[in-house]
């Protein structure tokens, strides 16, 4: 006979004000299996837990029901109380009489009390069918996979590797560095971006614990936390990196010119190229989409000039497999295409550019040598209009959210413009100035005062051409008048958007993403770097728009999480996993099909004791199983059951009221 | 099969069987089976936001809506409940990748079957409530309760009547 103890919590006044706790105690005491029913002001407090421990020992309880707040809140607390009293912690059931009764039926005390009693009845009935369960120990592969080699991926990889944990860093493009490598200077200190980033890039390449796989993509991820298997496709670079010295003879001689992505297509690169001079690894790759040798079999000049014979036109994509324990996703961001702003003449007027194009122009290693030029005639612009919130905070044309960094980099651009072209003047059209951050407000003030940039609050309604100038017509909402600015160059601060590959990557990794394509964190406030899938973490703009300090902080947080995960040789795992009763299993393998994790495999067992004839049955890999219970509902012979949520437990709950 | 809802004075009549009546102040029991990650968390949020809803629902927690066996629905209607509400994560948002898709298909079939054997279709309802949709959960419960009140009791299938 089961001996159940019921412990009802007042939760101060939270429960007691709306549920008649003494009546609950009286009613639940009448349940046949209940040995004791106790009430207390705060069950989760130390004296409250002591009451549970005492009752377990004195009443020789076989299961415990705590009627209090949601099990998502204090289930762990009470489980610990059970184990402290020498009882299996999984013999606990929590009846949620706060979130599901006292807080939602505050106007009807009788109904709330009746409901609370029913909820406790259900929990008691369920607890009778509870089984003793034991935590599962899973071995951990101590290697981390970092996807994306921008500043987020670099920081995460370095921090993890510094803890002497091997890291595999996978980068899609030929070099690490990401968006930050494209920046000239960074706000709010105007540090040279390259100067602070490239040493870190070199550290990654030379770190004994980091394996850098550039020009490659993750194509498959199997397994579970601590025991993932990743497949990485290394794209054919057609250059044998082992032989290549990075001398550069090949790209100097290559005759094929291709728009240069690194410089936002302002100038050209060759078909064999390194993205930028400080690239890591500093080895060229051949762009297969443009190389005439690969497309038509004509040319091959690079192979002729290469003294080391590093060019190999027959190279194939290579699949690399790695066993890893945790994944850090840092795929960064893309920029929104401002084409929908037709009234600005985007696409028609050459002298309307985006902020990143402007950034490349003012960059010392950029296509114009650090001095901005008008794309139409190459003249140095004297009057530049910056328009913020292009696509951001714009439900009609773009996206609803704020891209977070545009206010700051536009202020930076105004300052940089002033540095590069002393007699220039910047006009900035803005909706709001959002400069929350250390030194940020002061930086905007600097742009407004030191460089005398004119900040105009209002939207631009139209841009049209007048001679070789662009007339920018907008509103200055602060004086309530229309204004027109005769501009040489217009710079649009386009919104940050999630990389378009994010949904595919999310599906491949088995994590979720939001409606914009950003990867979702497990909890927006309290678990901002974890995903809902254990062992997969997020760093940088792949989760939401961020500036560099926030990105670096999040990347380091990821590293701390990974190091924590790898702190022991084994990992504890919840025992709520499926179990197969081979006696009943008919081997139909429906469960194998339905399992989203591939946790169910088949095995052969003898037909009967000592029999030589074999039959096929299912078998659950406890380490892989996440405990969803899909297999239980699909099993026709009821041979499979989910510990903690077995059929008898749930049926008991249903018939209890 | 479509069952018509009848209106009577002073008492509630079962939509399925005119022989089953209950007093006007009769309150239905609704079995709510919620997935742990979205709908149960959503219902907790309804609580923490103090949004009020009718007290007729009794909530069972399961890890995923795909854990819900049609057996649970049938057993609920047989023994204790006048209606069943099953709720999971929004399609595409399943914590277990694809569980709610299986659940969705299974529910549709179960509902058709139960409808065929004579239960009004509103007795079995499904919804998708995310962990952030506390107000939506309250609305769903209110609607389901309202629907089932209209349908009247399922007395003859109830435990005490079987005894």
ipTM of this predicted complex?
A: 0.93
- In-domain check, residue B14: no
B99 and A626: CB-CB below 8 Å? no
What pLDDT sits at residue A596?
86
Task: Spell out which residues of chain A touch residue B59, defining contact as CB-CB under 8 Å.
Answer: 96, 100, 119
pLDDT range class, residue B20, cuts 50, 70, 90: confident
pLDDT exceeds 80 at position A178: yes
Distance CA A71, CA A650 (A): 16
The secondary structure of A241-257 as a DSSP string is: TTT-----HHHHH---E
Distance CA B144, CA B146 (A): 5
B67 and A628: CB-CB below 8 Å? yes
Is the separation of the CB atoms in A81 and A42 below 8 Å? no
B58 and A633: CB-CB below 8 Å? no
Of all residues in chain A, what percent carry a pLDDT higher than 70?
A: 100
Distance CA A288, CA A312 (A): 12
Task: Kindly tell me the sign of the dihedral angle through the C-alpha atoms of A456, A459, A461, A466.
Answer: positive
Look at residues A169, A147, A173 and name the one whose alpha carbon lies nearest to residue A287. A173
pLDDT range class, residue A101, cuts 50, 70, 90: very high
Q: Which residue of A has its CA nearest to B89?
A: A512
Phi, psi of A269 (to 5 degrees): -120, 180
Our CA-based measurement puts residue B16 at a distance from the nearest CA of chain A, in whole angstroms, of 22
Our CA-based measurement puts residue B131 at a distance from the nearest CA of chain A, in whole angstroms, of 10
Task: Spell out which residues of chain B touch residue A638, defining contact as CB-CB under 8 Å.
Answer: none
Buried b (16+ CB within 10 A) or exposed e, A240-253: eeeebeeeebbbee
Query: pTM to 2 decimals?
Result: 0.74
Task: Spell out which residues of chain B touch residue A656, defining contact as CB-CB under 8 Å.
Answer: 80
For residue B103, the domain's CATH number is 3.40.50
The tokens describing A358, both together, are 């402007």
Q: What pLDDT, in 10s, does the model give residues A189-219?
A: 999 999 999 999 999 999 999 999 999 999 9
Ramachandran category for residue A510: left, alpha or beta (phi over 0 → left; psi -120 to 50 → alpha): left
pLDDT range class, residue B92, cuts 50, 70, 90: confident
Q: What pLDDT, in 10s, does the model give residues A295-342?
A: 999 999 999 999 999 999 999 999 999 999 999 999 999 999 999 999
Is the separation of the CB atoms in A454 and A343 below 8 Å? no
- In-domain check, residue B34: yes
Distance CA B93, CA A335 (A): 26
Number of domains in chain B: 1
**Mean per-residue pLDDT of chain A:** 94
pLDDT exceeds 60 at position B2: no
Question: Containing domain of residue B136, as a range?
Answer: 27-162
Q: What pLDDT, in 10s, does the model give residues A427-476?
A: 999 999 999 999 999 999 999 998 889 999 999 999 999 999 999 999 99
pLDDT exceeds 80 at position A294: yes
**Mean per-residue pLDDT of chain B:** 87
Task: Spell out which residues of chain A touch residue B102, defining contact as CB-CB under 8 Å.
Answer: 594, 630, 633-634
Is the separation of the CB atoms in A155 and A204 below 8 Å? no
The residue that leads in pLDDT, A532 or A541, is: A541
Is the separation of the CB atoms in A504 and A296 below 8 Å? no
Distance CA A556, CA A648 (A): 46
Q: Which residue of A has its CA nearest to B131?
A: A523
- In-domain check, residue B22: no
Spell out the domains of chain A, with CATH numbers in brackets: 4-128 (3.40.50), 144-235+317-333+510-565 (3.50.50.60), 249-305 (no CATH), 335-497 (3.50.50.60), 578-655 (3.30.70.20)
A653 and B60: CB-CB below 8 Å? yes
- In-domain check, residue B12: no
- In-domain check, residue B3: no
A629 and B67: CB-CB below 8 Å? yes
Residue B22's beta-bridge partner residues? B12
Task: Spell out which residues of chain B touch residue A107, defining contact as CB-CB under 8 Å.
Answer: 52
pLDDT exceeds 70 at position B9: no
Task: Spell out which residues of chain B touch residue A106, defining contact as CB-CB under 8 Å.
Answer: 50, 52
Distance CA A474, CA A427 (A): 11
Between the CA of residue A595 and those of A56, A533, A652, B99, what are the distances in Å? 38, 16, 26, 9
- In-domain check, residue B84: yes
A71 and B61: CB-CB below 8 Å? yes
Angle at the Cα of B40 (from B36 to B44), degrees rounded to 5?
A: 135
Is the separation of the CB atoms in A527 and A422 below 8 Å? no
B63 closest CB neighbour out of A111, A627, A634 = A627
Q: How many Cβ pairs within 8 Å bridge chains A and B? A: 123
Q: What pLDDT, in 10s, does the model give residues A636-649?
A: 999 999 999 999 99
What pLDDT sits at residue B162?
43
Question: H/E element holding A536?
Answer: strand A536-538
- Which has the minimum average pLDDT: A191-195, A278-282, A429-433, B77-81? B77-81
End-to-end, the C-alpha distance of chain B in Å comes to: 29
What pLDDT sits at residue B1?
46
Task: Spell out which residues of chain A touch residue B64, defining contact as CB-CB under 8 Å.
Answer: 628-630
Q: Please tell me whether residue A36 adopts helix, strand or coil conformation.
A: strand
Is the separation of the CB atoms in A434 and A407 below 8 Å? yes
Task: Spell out which residues of chain A touch residue B129, defining contact as CB-CB under 8 Å.
Answer: none
Q: What pLDDT, in 10s, does the model give residues A47-90?
A: 999 999 999 999 999 999 999 999 988 999 999 999 999 999 99
Is the separation of the CB atoms in A268 and A277 below 8 Å? no
For an interface test with B, the pick among A13, A74, A98, A100 (most B C-beta atoms closer than 10 Å) comes out as A100
Distance CA A34, CA A328 (A): 49
Angle at the Cα of A569 (from A566 to A575), degrees rounded to 5?
A: 90
Our CA-based measurement puts residue A244 at a distance from the nearest CA of chain B, in whole angstroms, of 44
Distance CA B140, CA A380 (A): 62
Q: Which residue of B has its CA nearest to A102?
A: B47
What pLDDT sits at residue B5?
57
Our CA-based measurement puts residue A465 at a distance from the nearest CA of chain B, in whole angstroms, of 47
pLDDT range class, residue A288, cuts 50, 70, 90: very high
The tokens describing B126, both together, are 């499904």
pLDDT range class, residue B159, cuts 50, 70, 90: very low
- In-domain check, residue B139: yes
- In-domain check, residue B10: no
What pLDDT sits at residue A349?
94
């Amino acid at each position: 006979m089961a001996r159940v103890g019921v412990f009802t919590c007042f939760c101060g006044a939270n429960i007691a004000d709306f549920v008649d706790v003494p009546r609950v105690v009286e009613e639940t005491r009448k349940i046949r299996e209940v040995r004791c029913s106790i009430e207390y002001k705060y069950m989760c407090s130390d004296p409250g837990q002591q009451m549970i421990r005492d009752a377990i020992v004195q009443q020789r309880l076989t299961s415990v029901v705590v009627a209090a707040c949601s099990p998502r809140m204090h289930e762990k607390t009470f489980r610990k109380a059970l184990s402290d009293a020498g009882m299996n912690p999984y013999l606990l059931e929590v009846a949620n009489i706060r979130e599901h009764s006292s807080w939602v039926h505050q106007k009807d005390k009788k109904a709330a009390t009746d409901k609370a009693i029913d909820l406790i009845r259900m929990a008691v009935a369920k607890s009778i069918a509870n089984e003793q369960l034991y935590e599962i120990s899973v071995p951990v592969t101590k290697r981390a996979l970092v996807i994306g080699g921008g500043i987020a991926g670099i920081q995460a990889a370095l921090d993890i590797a510094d803890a002497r944990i091997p890291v595999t860093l996978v980068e899609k493009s030929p070099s690490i560095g990401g968006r930050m490598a494209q920046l000239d200077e960074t706000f709010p200190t105007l540090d040279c971006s390259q100067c602070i980033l490239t040493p870190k890039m070199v550290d990654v390449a030379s770190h004994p614990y980091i394996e850098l796989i550039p020009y490659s993509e993750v194509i498959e991820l199997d397994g579970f936390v601590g025991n993932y298997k990743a497949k990485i496709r290394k794209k054919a670079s057609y250059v044998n990196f082992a032989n290549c010295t990075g001398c550069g003879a090949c790209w100097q001689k290559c005759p094929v010119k291709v728009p240069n992505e690194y410089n936002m297509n302002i100038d050209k690169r060759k078909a064999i190229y390194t993205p930028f001079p400080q690239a890591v690894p500093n080895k060229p790759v051949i762009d297969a989409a443009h190389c005439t040798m690969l497309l038509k079999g004509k040319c091959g000049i690079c192979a002729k000039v290469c003294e080391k014979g590093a060019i190999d036109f027959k190279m194939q994509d290579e699949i690399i497999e790695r066993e890893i324990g945790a994944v850090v996703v840092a795929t960064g961001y893309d920029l929104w295409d401002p084409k929908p702003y037709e009234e600005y003449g985007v696409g028609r007027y050459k002298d309307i550019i985006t902020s990143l194009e402007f950034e490349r122009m003012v960059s010392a290693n950029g296509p114009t040598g650090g001095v901005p030029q008008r794309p139409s005639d190459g003249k140095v612009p004297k009057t530049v209009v910056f328009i913020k919130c292009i696509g951001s905070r714009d439900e009609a044309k773009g996206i609803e959210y704020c891209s977070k960094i545009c206010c700051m980099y536009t202020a930076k651009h105004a300052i940089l413009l002033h540095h590069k072209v002393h007699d220039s003047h910047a006009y900035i059209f803005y909706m709001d100035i959002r400069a929350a951050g250390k030194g940020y407000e002061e930086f905007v003030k600097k742009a407004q005062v030191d460089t005398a940039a004119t900040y105009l609050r209002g939207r631009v309604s139209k841009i049209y051409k007048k001679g070789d100038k662009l007339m920018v017509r907008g509103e200055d909402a602060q004086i309530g008048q229309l204004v027109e600015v005769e501009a040489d160059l217009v710079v649009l601060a386009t919104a940050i958007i999630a990389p378009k590959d994010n949904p595919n990557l999310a599906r491949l990794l088995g994590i979720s993403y939001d409606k914009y394509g950003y990867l979702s964190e497990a909890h927006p406030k309290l678990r901002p770097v974890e995903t809902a899938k254990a062992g997969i973490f997020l760093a940088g703009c792949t989760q939401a728009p961020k500036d560099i300090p926030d990105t670096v902080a999040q990347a380091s947080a990821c590293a701390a999480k990974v190091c924590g995960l790898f702190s022991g040789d084994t990992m504890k795992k919840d025992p709520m996993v499926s179990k197969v009763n081979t006696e009943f299993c008919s081997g139909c393998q429906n469960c194998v099909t339905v399992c989203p994790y591939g946790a169910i495999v088949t095995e052969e067992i003898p037909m009967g004791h000592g029999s030589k004839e074999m039959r096929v049955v299912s078998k659950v890999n406890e380490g892989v199983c996440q405990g969803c219970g899909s297999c239980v509902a699909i099993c026709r012979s009821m041979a499979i059951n989910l510990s903690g949520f077995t059929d008898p437990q749930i049926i008991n709950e249903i018939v209890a009221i | 099969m479509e069952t018509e809802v009848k209106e009577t004075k002073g008492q509630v009549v079962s939509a399925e069987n005119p022989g089953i009546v209950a007093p006007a102040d009769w309150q239905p029991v609704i079995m709510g089976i919620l997935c742990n990650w979205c709908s149960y968390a959503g219902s907790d949020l309804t609580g923490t936001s103090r949004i009020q809803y009718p007290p007729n629902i009794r909530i069972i927690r399961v890890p995923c809506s795909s854990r819900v066996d049609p057996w649970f629905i049938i057993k609920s209607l047989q023994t204790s409940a006048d209606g069943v509400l099953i709720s999971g994560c929004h399609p595409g948002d399943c914590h277990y990748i694809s569980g709610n898709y299986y659940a969705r298909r299974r529910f549709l079939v179960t509902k058709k079957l139960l409808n065929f054997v004579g239960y009004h279709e509103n007795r079995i309802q499904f919804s998708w409530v995310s962990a952030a949709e506390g107000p939506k959960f309250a609305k769903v419960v209110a609607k389901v309760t309202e629907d089932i009140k209209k349908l009247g009791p399922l007395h003859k299938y109830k435990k005490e009547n079987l005894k």
